[in-house]
Structures are given as structure tokens and as C-alpha cells.
Structure 1
Amino acid sequence: MPALAQQAPVSGPVPVAAAVTAPGTAERQAPPKLIIAISVDQFSADLFTQYRPLFTAGLARLANGIVFPQGYQAHAATETCPGHSTILTGSHPGRTGVIANNWFDLSLTRDDKRVYCSEDPTVAGTSSSSGRYAPSLHYLRVPTLGDWMTRADPRTQVVSVAGKDRAAIMMGGREADETWWLSPQGLASYRGTQPSETVSAISQAIVNAIGTARAPLDLPAACGSRSLAVPIATGTVGTGRFERVAGNFRGFLASPESDGAVLAAAARLREQRRLGEGPQTDLLIVGLSATDYVGHSFGTEGSEMCLQMLALDRELGDFFTRMDATGIDYAVVLTADHGGHDLPERNQTNAAPEAVRVSMDLAPDAISERVKRELGLTMAGPLFAADAPFGDFYVSRSVPQAQRQRVIDAAIRIISAHPQIDRVVDGRTLAGMPMPRRSPELWSVEERLRASYDPERSGDFVVVLKARVTPIPESGLGYVATHGSVWDYDRRVPMLFWRAGLRPFEQPNPVMTVDILPTMASLVGVSLPADQIDGRCLDLIAGAGSNCPAP
């Protein structure tokens, strides 16, 4: 985003300090002065593989570092909030407590029983409805990397800035010095947070950008073959170039410009707080959300995603150039909160005829009426609370205790018979399972569900759609494709590590995002209790030596 970048010019490149170990030696070097943790929302392993040959800047740098192309958000609920909760906690959602973007707490006294993962429902007068909740870390049960670093050295500074509140909050943790996300007013944070002069200046630049109309982006030759119109219910997608009118905040979010704004804000905040310039190691967290907004709005193919991938590479390149110019020894990890799947209308024409949209017969209210008829129940209101026609279903408290299991069994039987359903799993089954420990590509569907299961927050049963069934019943401009399934197109994400001087290698064997916390903690010398996390330290040193503590 040029307006922000111009406010903090940098000079030419300065040599960066040595890496964790000198190539080919086992000698352990000093910790980096700055950890930069980046999440690219909906940046699937498929997108990384598809566009990797076209990267020439920031993503090219990372793709020539330590590359795990087949990382896993191993759990079942592959949504933004649970995914971000794993990245810097080392724990699956079943341990973090963040089981979905939204779930239901039927014990709440407020009328709205649905809770948003990054809200505090105890704040009077709030609800989970968009814009009416109180942003909070209320639901995250475990510490983050920043929390562990701050406990080890109170001088540590932690700054988290993202396109979405749930990304900034879930990765930032409780000890973050600053937590910011994009809003129509620029950068937003928790209630009562007073912006500094730097944050106010950043916010004004963002507001100015939102208020400026944008002409269509030029279409590079590399994107030409991907530009093909796909009819949907309200028009077409696949040929867009991010033209927008002034004041269109949603259009701003679903464009490369929003990632540029977040990266420029991160660079400014690093400069203002002098992260990486003190005796301790600091942490800068960056959540880039444009890829997710583009995926939902236009799908994972087409000119829109091609332009987004090339812009992401370019913006990251500019950001790393600014970091290089500081002379700070910094280490980077980049991953994603989940993958994504293209809209079924395009999949059907691209060798996936089984791709369909979910039937309204599976809507929670429709299932409720069928169960009532089958069991002869006359009670008013729905029998189930659910956020979508898949995932967690909660039996209403209006159902007598003596009838609950009968209602659950009937619902499972009715839903399981539908041709779009892979399986329905009773919560009691998941409650009796241990957390899976084997390699994530071998996990059964039940093991994936177990990694997302929290006995206090999960539903009475969980509905699993068949692969390539999109849980959006109708396509419309603004929301045509999604994620959230148990299938690998939503689970697989790249995991990329980089530090100047670190010998590159690629490891195709699967790793998990829960491995990031113990790996980065090892670089800065922070000890972690193994029984409090689900991940393991990844050895980033090619050949002799290791950054991981001895077993």
C-alpha cells in the first residue's frame, strides 16, 4: 500500500546477521533478534504448488528456504479461528478450546446463544452478531508463542496486526503489546485501546485508501489463461481485476490492497517500537486475509486469485526488503490457517463433476422438522442449534433429558441416509477417543474430528459432508466458495521457514502447524512443557546440528 510505505522510507540493503548455525556445522548461534510469524488466510498447499513457479519476490525467497510443502492444519474444523489458534500455541483446537469460528453455548443468559470465537459473551449488551460483539481472547485456553517469550524475558515486545480480528487476537495472545486489525476506520483493537500517533497515522492512510476508487488492475500474461468467466446465480466470476468504487470496504478487503496495508502497518509498528533492536528477541505477527476474501468472493481459480497470488508475492518482497534494510537478524515462518476449495460451478467444468452445493434438506431447521415428525414430538421451536448444514449440532435444552439420546439417534439416522453425507459422529464417540499422535495424513475422519473436539463446547453430534460438497446452498456475488471440511484440500497448507544464512532444504513429509510453536521457541531458547502442547520441534538445520532441544 504505497501511502503507508512512503511514510517510512528505508535505505539500501544492509548485511543481515548469521543464521542459527553456520552451514555444515553443529555450533549453535545466538537467537534471532526478531521473529516474524505470518499467516496467509486460505493459502492452501494447492495454491502454493500451483503458483510457486510464478513467484519472484517474497514468496520466492521463502520457497527457497526451509520448505514443508505438505503441512497440515490437521483437525476437522478447518476455519479461520481454530486454524489461527493452532499456529502459535502448538495445540490442536481440542486443546485451545477454539473449536470453530462460531459455536453455541446454550447456557448463556442472553438471547443470542451463538458465540463468536473472539468475543467475550459476558460483556453486557453484546452478541455474536457482526459488529455487536466485544473482541476478546476469552475463549483461548492456552498461551501463545508471545506469551511464552514474555514469561521467559519480560522485555520481549509482541505486536500483532492482521486483516481480521480473530487472526490478530488468536496469534497475538494475552501478553501482546499491540493487537490491531483492519476496519472501515483504519486499525481497530480491543475496547478502550487508545491508538498512538503512529497507529492514528496508519489508520488515516487506510481510510484514505478505502475512500479512493480503483481502476482495474492490469492482467499479466501469466494470468491470461486463468481468466475465464464462470456463471453463478447473480452474475459471473473468474475475470475480475479488483476494480472498485470509493468507500467499498468489502471490496478493499477482497483485494491485494488490504494485504499491502497490513504489511505496511506491520513495518511501521516495528519501526515505531524498534522491534528487534533491543537485547531480547521480539515477535512481530502478521495476518494477511486478502487471499481468504478473494477465495470466498471469486473462488480459488480465475484471474482474481492469480492477481492476488502475484500481488502477495510482490508485497511480501517489499516487506522483506524493508526488514533487510534494518540490519536486524530476523527469522520468518509463514503458513496458513486452512486451505480452500473452488466453487462447484467451476469444478464441474474442470474434471470434478461430483462437486455440488449442499442441499437445503440438510439445513438444521429442516432436520429438526423431520425428527419431530418421525418421533411424534409436538414441542415448539427447533430441536437443534447449528451454524451451518454441517459441523456441530447441539440439542435444544427444551428437549427433556429422557428424550435427548432418542432425538440424537433419530437425527443421526436421518442425516446419515442423505446422499451428500459422509458420516455423522456422536459426540460421545469423540469424547472417548485420545488425541491422535500419528502422522496427520494417516488420521481417520474420527481422529480429525477428535482434534477439534472440546467436551464443554462441541456439539452433541458432528455432521461430515462428502468431499467436494460445498456447504453454501446458493451462489451469489460476495460468497461463492468456502472451506471448513475434514478433507485434505482444506487441511493441507505450506509451512515455510527462512533466516539469512540458513541452508535451504525441502521436506515433503507431512508436518503440522502445531509444530511451529516448539520450533520457533527452540530458536529463541524458550523451554516448553511437552505435556502442554501437541506439536514437536522441527529441525531446521540441514546436515549436522539441530535447533531442537535434546530429547
Structure 2
Amino acid sequence: MKKLALLAALAALLALACGAPADAPEAEAGGEETTGSAVPEGTPRLVLLIVVDQMRGDYLERFRPLLNHGLGRLLQEGVVFTDTHHFHAATETAPGHATLATGAFPKRHGIVANSWFDRERGSDVYCCGDPEHGVSPRNMLVPALGDLLKAAYPQAKVYAASAKDRAAILMGGHHADGAWWYGRSTGSFVTSTYYGDEESQPAWVEAFNDEDRLAVHFANAWKPLLPLDHTSAYDIEPLDRGPFIDTFPHAVGGFTVEREAFYRDVYTSPFVDGYLEDFAEVLIEAENLGADEVPDLLAVSFSALDTVGHGYGPNAPETLDVILRLDRTIGELLDFVDERIGMENVVVGFSSDHGVGEVPDLVVRDGGDGGRFGTDQTLCLQRLQSRLKGRFGGGEFLVDTFYLDGETIAAEEANRAAIEDEIIEAMSDCPLIAEVVRPAELDPANPLHELYLNNYYPERSGDLVVVVKPNVLPVPASVIVASHGSPYAYDTHVPMIIRRQDGAGQVVEARANTIDLAASLAPLLGLDLDSIAGFEGFDGTDRLADR
């Protein structure tokens, strides 16, 4: 009865899904009326899902002696999975958050990248783009953990917040009671009409924004918590930008007194994380989360490690400082939750959307292989267009990078397979590109190919898969110093910790995937995994039974 009721609720949720895409898969269900499940004894009153954007899998171990607050507490009181990986190729913010929230691969949840080319519209589509509401979770094709929670317990509350809209929106799922993110031009937390019109927004949000808590950082430099001469033991060095060394202290905002410039710069500083934690505390109190036996869910994604990491790389003092401040910030959040709800009533899930690679220029400097796309790659792509025209006709056969124009191919009566062969041959000869392959020819026995298969959704993915070599970035250093997005371990390896109500710490060295997080949290919420159509991961806490 419980299984059928939950499935019926899921089917109803996905059918309504606030306008979810017509091709969104529906859960199989019987025809019973949904009444909600009884809450099993011992179910937590709150699940706190914490995601840290661009938290590499080695950071927690590397900086462990310095982590004495929230991150240190999770390492001590949580089940720590040391070998956790995203098992998809597009290690970007949107696919990572969607995977953590749904327990499914991009090939099922449909969030294949931060943006993709829409063949019908003939233009790029943002992962959370919504013509009606501006942004929403409608492009995500499966329910998130919060949706499953609401299906089982209709009175459950689900909220999400982040500095990034896509992080908050995707973690909250289709039926979140609210999702907010940082407005870079105003310094306020903003939302979408998907969650209700302006008049229906909670008064506490406006009151919080009116406080302007960021003002304390205006006209104050960002200085490191740990003196630079104490960081050498952790392989930290100021970023070498040629003739300039870029290091502390840093002003927040450009040479202007305009607050908009200051608010924009806060987004690329650690202060945005502290501001988010303030917001999370007010949200918990205002919405009375964890106040009764019905479990609630709050998802919080901290973004500063990503916004700062892109500008400095994984070994810079700025990156370390963000981690140290984040340790304190998460500590403050856990202390607040402990005092208000009691950690014995709370389960915490912790992970990251992706890792980050080394700065390619420094890899090459130190004798390794790597590089950045530049003149050679640009000319390869431009010459490819001319090469295709010369052989197959006068049309533009590529409407976007590695998306073929089917209409032009038909109009020119060209052979599609021959065009693909020409592209594969031409681009495979480009420096820094490892291989170019058709999706249909991806080999599941090839470890890298398997990640691309898990990332492939035909209606949204490109017509050809381009694999770059390790330690290669497709952007110049003037745009991004370090980044992610590859299928290599430095991008896929992330931390994963589950702190159960008893706070019993344990280390699990066996391989885990990020799809396991939602599947591990679900049983703790009284959700029957056998009754849920969707999870591709498994309950990682099962492996603790014999330990």
C-alpha cells in the first residue's frame, strides 16, 4: 500500500510538474489515492544537504590539520567516502547538482551541461532557462529527493539556496517551497516567479535583504586567515601571472564607490558564503524547519570555492582561505541547527558538484603535458567549416560546435556519415584533442567512454563527442585560470559525507559514485528504495553493516 501510494504521488507530481517538459518520464503507479505515508519512528526532522562548488576530492585530506570547525566536524562525525566520483563526463555545476539531487545520471535527468544547443530553437539553452518564468527546474526530467520527500509526506517542507541560481533550482527540485540565489547586481537574495508571484514571497526574505549584511565588507580588504608564511607545508603558492604576483590583500569591488560593482565582486569572494549561511539561518527559523516529526529538507550550495578557484587555481592562498572560511561558516550553520533542532534529529549529506584541474600553464612549466586552446584549435575549427563546404556544398553544416544542421544536410543532399567522418578526421588531428567519436560508437568497456555514455541525452547532446587531453582548458588564462568539465579524476573526484543522527564517524574507502548520495539519504527519510523509480545509485550506508 505504501509503495503504491508513493508511486501514485510521483506520477501525479511529474504529470503536473509545474509545466515540466512533455518528454519527462513518469513513474509507474497504481490508481490508489495518495494520502501520504506515516513517518517511521527515528526519521530525522531535517535533512541538510550541503554542496560545495568545486570542492576537489583531495582538499579535505590535504588541509585536514587546518579544519577545526564545520568541515572538521563532518569528517569526525560522518561516514566519509574517500573515493567518490561523479561518473559522468560533463563535470560542471548544473549536471553535478542535478545528479546529487536526483540520484540519476545526466542521461536520465537531462541536465547534460550548464547550457546546450537546442535544435528546434536554433540557439543555446540555459540549463534552468524558462520562457515563462525566466528560470525554473523544468528542464530537469526526473524528480529530485525533495520531490520524493513531498510525495511521501505532503506536509514536508523543501527549500534550497545558493549564490548560483542553477545550484539552488536543481537541488530544490520541481516542487520546492522556495529557492533563492544571490543577485549580483543588488546584493540581495532573489527568486523566480516559478515559486510564486512577488506578492506571495515571504516577508522575511525582504526583511533580510533590507538589512544589507554585506555592508560590513565594504571598504574592507579581503585578508587571509592564515599568514602566507604558514601555508608552504600545504603546497600553497601565490599565483604567478608572469611579471606580476597576484596575492593578498584584495579589495572587493573596482575603483568606484558604486555598490553594484561591490556586490558583483562579492560573488567572487569568500564573503558570499558567509552571507548565504546568514540567509540559511534566517530561513530555518522563519519557516520553522525541523519543528515536528515530518522531515524537511534544506539544500545549501556554497559557491565561493568555485568563483575564486576559477580565478586562482587549486594551489593559491586565496583558495585555501576560502576553504578555511568555509570550515568556519559550515561550523556556524551546524551549531545553529544543533541548538535549534538538535543534531540527533538531523541528517547531513555533504558533497560537491565537481572538482578542478591544475593550472595548465603551471603543469607545462613544471614539465608536464597540458595546455590551452588557442590559435591552432581556432584555425582547426574554422578551416573545418571551409573544408566541409568545399567537399559537400555551400551550406553551413555545423550550426553550433559539433551540432550538425540536419536541414542543410538534407538540402545539399549530402551524406551525413561522410560529413561526420570528415569532422572526426579533421578535429582528431588538432593539437590537445585526444579523440572525436560518434555517440553510437562510444565503448562501454572504455572507462572514459562510459562517462560520456552516462552524460549522453540524444535530444540535447552534441552529434559528436570531443575528448580533450588531460590538463587542457579550452579557454585562455585571461578568461579562466583553472577550471573543470573533463572526465578525468581531478574533475570527477569529490568528497561525500553522510552524517547520521548518532554522529558515529566512519571511513569507507570502497568506490562510491555521487548518484549514491540521494539513494543513501532516501532510506534515512523512510523512503523505500524499491518503490522509487529513478535512482541509479544504491544505499551507500548498506556497506557499513558488516564493518
CA contact (8 A) 1:234 1:475 kept: no
CA contact (8 A) 1:78 1:338 kept: yes
Deviations 1:164-207 (A, max 9, x none): 01000111011100100011331111133443221112223457
The equivalent of 2:372 in structure 1 is 357
Q: Distance in 2 between matches of 1:211 and 1:264?
A: 14
The equivalent of 1:280 in structure 2 is 294
Q: Distance in 2 between matches of 1:406 and 1:544?
A: 56
What is the CA distance between 1:144 and its match in structure 2? 0.5
Q: Distance in 1 between matches of 2:99 and 2:320?
A: 28
What is the CA distance between 1:456 and its match in structure 2? 1.2
CA contact (8 A) 1:484 1:490 kept: yes
Q: Which sections of structure 1, spanning at least 5 residues, go unmatched?
A: 1-27, 124-132, 387-392, 437-441, 546-551
1:232 equivalenced with 2:241 (yes/no):
yes
Q: Distance in 2 between matches of 1:377 and 1:52?
A: 58
What is the CA distance between 1:370 and its match in structure 2? 2.5
1:338 equivalenced with 2:350 (yes/no):
no
Partner secondary structure for residue 199 of structure 1: helix
- Compared CA separation, residues 66 and 443, structure 1 to 2 (3 A): farther
1:113 equivalenced with 2:123 (yes/no):
yes
- Compared CA separation, residues 321 and 463, structure 1 to 2 (3 A): same
CA contact (8 A) 1:38 1:333 kept: yes
What is the CA distance between 1:540 and its match in structure 2? 6.2
Q: Distance in 1 between matches of 2:49 and 2:271?
A: 20
TM-score by length of 2: 0.83
Larger CA deviation: 448-457 vs 417-426: 417-426
Q: 1:30-45, aligned counterparts within 5 Å?
A: 30-45=42-57
Q: Distance in 2 between matches of 1:536 and 1:234?
A: 51
Q: Distance in 2 between matches of 1:451 and 1:206?
A: 43
Q: Distance in 1 between matches of 2:347 and 2:490?
A: 28
- Compared CA separation, residues 490 and 210, structure 1 to 2 (3 A): farther
Q: Which sections of structure 2, spanning at least 5 residues, go unmatched?
A: 1-39, 254-258
CA contact (8 A) 1:383 1:399 kept: no
Q: Distance in 2 between matches of 1:209 and 1:534?
A: 45
Larger CA deviation: 185-194 vs 370-379: 370-379
- Compared CA separation, residues 210 and 94, structure 1 to 2 (3 A): farther
Q: 1:507-546, aligned counterparts within 5 Å?
A: 507-528=508-529, 529=531, 531-539=533-541, 542-543=544-545
Aligned length: 485
Q: 1:331-480, aligned counterparts within 5 Å?
A: 331-349=347-365, 351=366, 353-363=368-378, 366-373=380-387, 375-379=390-394, 381=396, 383-386=398-401, 393-401=402-410, 402-430=414-442, 444-472=447-475, 474-476=476-478, 479-480=480-481
What is the CA distance between 1:230 and its match in structure 2? 3.4
Larger CA deviation: 54-63 vs 241-250: 241-250
The one of 83, 86, 91 equivalent to 2:96 is: 83
What is the CA distance between 1:234 and its match in structure 2? 9.4
What is the CA distance between 1:368 and its match in structure 2? 4.6
What is the CA distance between 1:356 and its match in structure 2? 1.3
* One-letter amino acid of the structure 1 residue matched with residue 136 of structure 2: S
1:141 equivalenced with 2:153 (yes/no):
no
What is the CA distance between 1:481 and its match in structure 2? 1.4
Q: 1:1-16, aligned counterparts within 5 Å?
A: none
What is the CA distance between 1:67 and its match in structure 2? 0.3
* One-letter amino acid of the structure 1 residue matched with residue 348 of structure 2: V
Please list every run of at least 4 consecutive aligned residues from structure 1 whose deviation after the TM superposition is greater than 4 angstroms. Answer: 233-236, 540-545
CA contact (8 A) 2:381 2:427 kept: yes
Partner secondary structure for residue 161 of structure 2: strand
Q: Distance in 2 between matches of 1:540 and 1:291?
A: 31
Q: Distance in 2 between matches of 1:519 and 1:399?
A: 48
CA contact (8 A) 2:439 2:453 kept: no
- Compared CA separation, residues 210 and 451, structure 1 to 2 (3 A): farther
The equivalent of 1:189 in structure 2 is 191
- Compared CA separation, residues 524 and 236, structure 1 to 2 (3 A): same
Q: Distance in 1 between matches of 2:216 and 2:125?
A: 29
CA contact (8 A) 1:241 1:303 kept: no
Partner secondary structure for residue 102 of structure 2: coil
Q: 1:205-244, aligned counterparts within 5 Å?
A: 205-206=211-212, 208-209=214-215, 212-221=218-227, 224-225=231-232, 228-232=237-241, 235-237=244-246, 239-244=247-252
Q: 1:237-252, aligned counterparts within 5 Å?
A: 237=246, 239-245=247-253, 247-252=261-266
The equivalent of 2:12 in structure 1 is none
CA contact (8 A) 2:363 2:370 kept: yes
The equivalent of 1:23 in structure 2 is none
The equivalent of 1:12 in structure 2 is none
Deviations 1:369-423 (A, max 9, x none): 325326435525572403xxxxxx2012453233322221111111112231111
Deviations 1:450-476 (A, max 9, x none): 00000111111010100111221x212
The equivalent of 2:30 in structure 1 is none
The equivalent of 1:548 in structure 2 is none
What is the CA distance between 1:347 and its match in structure 2? 2.8
Q: Distance in 2 between matches of 1:193 and 1:173?
A: 20
* One-letter amino acid of the structure 1 residue matched with residue 537 of structure 2: G
- Compared CA separation, residues 230 and 326, structure 1 to 2 (3 A): closer
Q: Distance in 2 between matches of 1:37 and 1:261?
A: 17
* One-letter amino acid of the structure 1 residue matched with residue 541 of structure 2: D
Partner secondary structure for residue 415 of structure 2: helix
The equivalent of 2:109 in structure 1 is 96
The equivalent of 1:151 in structure 2 is 151
- Compared CA separation, residues 270 and 465, structure 1 to 2 (3 A): same
Larger CA deviation: 366-375 vs 194-203: 366-375
Deviations 1:280-317 (A, max 9, x none): 00001101110000111111111100111100101111
The equivalent of 1:25 in structure 2 is none
